[in-house]
Amino acid sequence: MKKSFFTTFQLGATNKPIENIDTVKTIIDSWLRKPQRGFSLPLSFSLTDNEFKYEINEHKLLKYYFNDTKVGELLAIRYEHNDSSSEDVFWRTEIVIGEKIFPEDHSYRFSINIWYGSRNQKFKPTVRQRSRPSLIKDLIQNVGAFELFPLQNGHVPLPKQDIPLFFDLLTSNRRKLPIIFISTDNTDNKPIVNVNTIINNCSGMAYVIMSNDQSVTWDLHKYLGKAHNCYNGAVRIYWPGFNVTDQPQIHTLWTVEQIINFGNKYEFEHYLFNQLCDHAQTRYVSEYLTWEGAQKIDRQKRLEKAKETGSQQEWIQLLEEENLNLTQDNEEKTNEIKSLKQSVFDLKKSNEQLLTSIRYHKNPTTILNDTLSFDSFDSVISEICKNFKDNIEIPKRSIKDNSFADFESLYKALTWLALTYRQYKTKEITIENLDISCKESCGFFYSSNQSNTTMGQYKDDYIFLYNGVNYKLREHIGIGTSKHPELTIRIAFFFDKETNKVVVGFLGQHQRTRAT
């Protein structure tokens, strides 16, 4: 399943924390009973009773309530329902409220996780628009929320006289949430973004602060300097841990021109929200702040009861449940890994396009449109052999594995061999450092040496017969150090002086060594 949303904060006010879960029970109960959900809970339903599961049509509601855990009182809820536009897709929302989750907490802590995924075994792209659950706004409005500093369902205006306080918040090493800073345009002292949309999206995830007028950002310059300031309609995220000595690019800035380039002004606001959602997933979560943590507490309590009663049947049931939970957890983690791998590929491509646009002074959109696209490993090999048949040869027997999935990077690497490396070997060009040249062209490293012992021990990987001659594969390029085949590849080769070609003798995962 793919995680869509996460946030956590303490309930109440910094000077008036809530006293028990009863304070928020009514709000959560009302949220669960909203008519648009399409199901009705019985009037007798209570979040703190002993009933564990409710299933109504395609809706499933599970919960745990404990009043005597290591962290005090704890309530955990899991709610699942079908997607409104596809029966193959379902949503899962998990809410946990605990009394003393972290040692520094002095109120009940609320957390909410939202996932979506497929109900069947089909592996296909599934993308859904993220949104902030209305429960967060309800809690902030009716109970209050804070994470060291108060959270609001609105923005905090910043007048000139409050700049020192703002700077203290900005640089506080205790701040856990990002600050979204919105500056006003110099011409009319108004923001160019839709502030209400940003607030509606980001409540409970960040502090939204907006300058009163342009004079505020002028004065902020004295505290932040030009590199870290935000002015003339720009928007910036200041991440926790901010320091004026940080590299400016760490704290993302969007200028007026960049915001306008998003087109429809709401597109930027949703992009900003998605950025927060992506980074929120890296936040540390105590096991007591998860549904799995609540399940663990339940099993421990039942185990203690089974010990007291000596019930063998209870022991068997607990072991079966534990095995089922581990299987489900493994499947979910596997799907998360697949999703993260895809994100890594997407980020790498975006980074390459941006670096290329900077290097050649071209618009990133142009670079994106110019980017080659391949649908398989074999299509890359075919294209290389067709385009550079006089420069490089890739015999079929040299291909040991075709699992590598970053086809564009593979094409760039083989192109570097066919053009740059070959020209170096034919003395058409001079290259001081082949490793740097290769990394700049395709992101792969270059290595020029293998030990004679290793090559002698694993001849199949290091000796290649070509035109009746055995060639040693001393040189290779590659990327990846993990065991994941779709992320790792090695290409070993030699230059044949008779044909003036680069010949690939090994293309696959790691060549064997004594270490492996």
Q: What is the mean pLDDT of the chain?
A: 84
CA separation for the pair 515, 494 (Å, rounded): 24
Mean pLDDT of 45-54: 82
Q: Which H or E run contains 59?
A: strand 59-69
Does 380 score more than 70 pLDDT?
yes
Q: Which is nearest to 183 in space by CA: 191, 171, 174?
A: 191
**How many helices (H) and strands (E) would you count in the chain?**
16, 21
Does 89 score more than 90 pLDDT?
no
Q: Break the chain down into helix, strand, coil percent, rounded to 5.
A: 40, 25, 35
pLDDT of residue 10: 93
Terminal Cα distance for the chain, rounded: 34
Amino acid at 460: D
Q: Which H or E run contains 95?
A: strand 89-98
Does 34 score more than 50 pLDDT?
yes
Taking residue 273's Cβ as centre, other Cβ atoms within 10 Å add up to: 23
What token pair was written down for 196? 């209400």
Segment 123-162, tens digit of pLDDT: 555 667 788 999 999 999 999 999 888 999 999 999 999 9
Segment 213-228, tens digit of pLDDT: 989 999 999 999 989 9
Segment 422-471, tens digit of pLDDT: 999 999 999 999 998 998 888 899 998 777 766 667 777 888 999 999 99
CA separation for the pair 455, 453 (Å, rounded): 6
Counting every residue, how long is the chain? Answer: 516
CA separation for the pair 28, 285 (Å, rounded): 21
Query: Could you tell me if 265 and 193 are in contact, meaning their C-beta atoms sit under 8 angstroms apart?
Result: yes
Segment 283-318, tens digit of pLDDT: 777 777 888 888 888 888 877 777 777 666 766 776
CA separation for the pair 83, 93 (Å, rounded): 12
Amino acid at 509: Q
Q: Which is nearest to 417 in space by CA: 400, 393, 396?
A: 393
Q: Which is nearest to 134 in space by CA: 216, 203, 211, 56?
A: 203
Segment 170-185, tens digit of pLDDT: 999 989 999 999 999 9
The alpha-helical segments, DSSP class H, found in 22-162 are 22-32, 134-142
DSSP string across 462-506: HEEEETTEEEE--EEEEE--SS-GGG-EEEEEEEETTTTEEEEEE
pLDDT of residue 322: 67
CA separation for the pair 22, 295 (Å, rounded): 22
pLDDT of residue 366: 43
3-class DSSP state of 143 = coil
Q: How far is CA 424 from CA 29, 194, 233, 466, 490, in A?
A: 71, 55, 50, 21, 21
CA separation for the pair 14, 148 (Å, rounded): 7
Q: How far is CA 275 from CA 87, 178, 217, in A?
A: 28, 11, 24
Does 165 score more than 90 pLDDT?
yes
Query: Could you tell me if 73 and 99 are in contact, meaning their C-beta atoms sit under 8 angstroms apart?
Result: yes
Choose from 58-67, 79-88, 339-348 the range with maximum mean pLDDT.
Answer: 58-67
Q: Which is nearest to 409 in space by CA: 489, 339, 483?
A: 489
Segment 392-425, tens digit of pLDDT: 999 999 998 888 888 888 999 999 999 999 999 9
Task: Give the list of residues 6+ apart from residue 393 with CB closer than 8 angstroms, or none.
Answer: 385, 499, 501, 502, 503, 504
Q: How far is CA 514 from CA 293, 441, 510, in A?
A: 43, 31, 12
Does 367 score more than 50 pLDDT?
no
Mean pLDDT of 56-70: 87
The alpha-helical segments, DSSP class H, found in 192-309 are 195-202, 214-228, 256-260, 265-280, 291-309
